[in-house]
Amino acid sequence: MSSKKVDLSELSKLYAELGGELKPFEKFSGKIDVGYKVVYEKRITEVDVAFFGLVSGDLNPLHFDEELASRTKFGGRVVHGALTTSLVSAALARLPGIPVALEVYFKYTSPVRIGDVVRVEGVVTEKERENRFKVSVKCLVGERVVAEGYAKVLIW
Amino acid sequence: MSSKKVDLSELSKLYAELGGELKPFEKFSGKIDVGYKVVYEKRITEVDVAFFGLVSGDLNPLHFDEELASRTKFGGRVVHGALTTSLVSAALARLPGIPVALEVYFKYTSPVRIGDVVRVEGVVTEKERENRFKVSVKCLVGERVVAEGYAKVLIW
């Protein structure tokens, strides 16, 4: 299907050249239990919105057309909600072991602008079985909550 | 911050060359009400997993390392759950008007492999206010449900 080969290190280089923030994939340490905390943050830039738009097929002009977006209640372009909360998946992937997301719930409470640093703060609130945990999560830009909810995660 | 300019049409070309499926952003027609249906599908390829990994920072080896992934219960690499359900955001963005996602809930029920075509099927199940709707959604690969849940959407 593809005429060129997908090379993650080549694409990482391009991504960084286009202003993307490359995050090393570093696992968190410690033993997961109720009270365990995770923090993860990443700047969302122009290239993220473009890549996410292509991957999902969500080329909603709210994310790409400043002129149109400026005439909405947002008053300008915003980041896809699902792009913002993709950072939750990245945060949970950093849990010790092999984490698998079973369920997610998110409420989008405030717009995220291109260039904003989104910080994910999570805390394990329930241990449902030996290797299943509920994690409450918030996504913040500065002190402003932009999304909140929870995820259920299985650790292999 | 970026040394190169982000050009969506240039990136679209690269994305297609790398095997990505370019989806035109075409709005659905008709009047949204209870019973309104949406269908949207897209093939998820290697470049999608790479782009999504860079954008989110989720470089979990379950998605990138065939050798490691083959030793898990998945028996091989799988697509990020949040990438699969990003197609729901793309489906809802195609609703008439200017749709804004307020809330989402997804349960991940079965793995998605690189190369699978994911079909999103949604149906409006509740009209909460004049311009607020609840949409039940399923993501399928063939007849197999890989994720299901709902979204609440505001239409501007």
CATH code of the domain in which B99 resides: 3.10.129.10
Task: Give the whole-angstrom CA distance, residue B109 versus residue B148.
Answer: 8
Assess contact for A19 and A47: CB atoms under 8 A: yes
How much is the pLDDT for B3?
Answer: 60
Residue B156 is predicted with a pLDDT of 87
The arithmetic mean of pLDDT across residues A114-123, rounded, is 98
Q: What burial letters (b/e) apply to B41-71, b meaning 16+ CB within 10 Å? A: bbebbbbbbbbbbbbbbbbbebbbeeeebee
The pLDDT profile of chain B, 156 residues, written as one tens digit per residue, is 446 899 999 999 999 999 999 999 999 999 999 999 999 999 999 999 999 999 999 999 999 999 999 999 999 999 999 999 999 999 999 999 999 999 999 999 999 999 999 999 999 999 999 999 999 999 999 999 999 999 999 998
Mean pLDDT of A81-97: 97
Look up the domain containing A110 and give its range: 33-155
B101 touches A: beta carbon within 8 Å: yes
Q: What is the CA radius of gyration of chain B?
A: 17
Q: Which of A123, A153, A154, A126 is nearest to A138 (CA)?
A: A123
Query: Does the structure show a pLDDT above 60 at A1?
Result: no
Report chain A residues whose CB lies below 8 A from the CB of B100: 62, 108
Asked whether residue A15 is domain-assigned, the answer is: no
User: What is the per-residue pLDDT across A16-46, written as a single tens digit (0 to 9) for each?
Assistant: 999 999 999 999 999 999 999 999 999 999 9
Distance (Å) from the alpha carbon of B90 to chain A's nearest alpha carbon: 4
The C-alpha atoms of residue A116 and residue A37 are separated, in whole angstroms, by 23
Residue-level length of chain A: 156
| Residue A132: predicted pLDDT | 97
Asked whether residue B26 is assigned to any structural domain, the reply reads no
Chain A nearest-CA distance from B107, in A, is 4
Residue A1 C-alpha, separation from nearest chain B C-alpha, in angstroms: 6
Model confidence, pTM: 0.96
* A5 neighbourhood in chain B, CB within 8 Å: 18
In a domain, B65, yes or no: yes
Q: Closest partner residue to B6 among A46, A62, A102, by Cβ?
A: A46
In a domain? residue A17: no
Q: Which of B80, B89, B145, B152 has its CA nearest to residue B119? A: B145
* B154 touching chain A per CB within 8 A: no
Chain A CB contacts of B47 below 8 Å: 2, 6, 11
Interchain pair A105, B101: CB under 8 A: no
Chain B residues 20-59 within an 8 A CB cutoff of chain A: 20-23, 25, 40, 42, 45-48, 50-59
Residue B13, in any domain of the structure: no
Average pLDDT, chain A: 96
pLDDT for the residue numbered A3: 60
A132 part of a folded domain: yes
Can you tell me the ipTM of this complex? 0.96
In-domain check, residue A20: no
Please state the domain count of chain A: 1
Assess if residue B8 is contained within a domain.
Answer: no
